Structure 1
């Protein structure tokens, strides 16, 4: 029984590793959200630029 109890004890180093892992996962999640936002802004800017280049004589692509 002592081995079973000892096996369930978590060391301080393991706790730190779990906390660091959680912090890194949260950071990756925030960076992925930031990247998605920046991509959306870039796509919007490109679309705006293309529309401004087309001017008033823009026609539908399939016309």
Structure 2
């Protein structure tokens, strides 16, 4: 697991909390910010996932040499 995966998951969780809180108190702006944070976190997590996959492929290729 790399830094981008961890930070992305944390941002997703924080965004979910913001979104739920905004919905609970009727604050549309807070809810929207939460949704944006979730999307940003998901993108960062996916980027980290891609880096890990690429790293694994490279390591397997090196092992075959």
TM-score for the superposition, normalised by structure 2: 0.60
Distance between the aligned counterparts of 2:52 and 2:44, measured in 1? Answer: 12
Structure 1: which 4+ aligned runs deviate by more than 4 Å? none
- Which structure is higher in RCO with an 8 Å CA cutoff and minimum separation 6? 2
The reply on whether 1:37 has 2:47 as its aligned counterpart is yes
Higher helix share goes to which structure? Answer: 2
Q: Considering only aligned residues, what root-mean-square deviation do their CA atoms show, in Å?
A: 1.1
What is the number of residues matched between the two proteins? Answer: 41
Distance between the aligned counterparts of 2:57 and 2:47, measured in 1? Answer: 15
Residues 21-55 of structure 1: CA distance to partner in whole angstroms, max 9, x if unpaired?
A: 00000000000000110000000000000000011
Distance between the aligned counterparts of 2:30 and 2:64, measured in 1? Answer: 51
Matches within 5 A, 1:36-55: 36-55=46-65
TM-score for the superposition, normalised by structure 1: 0.62
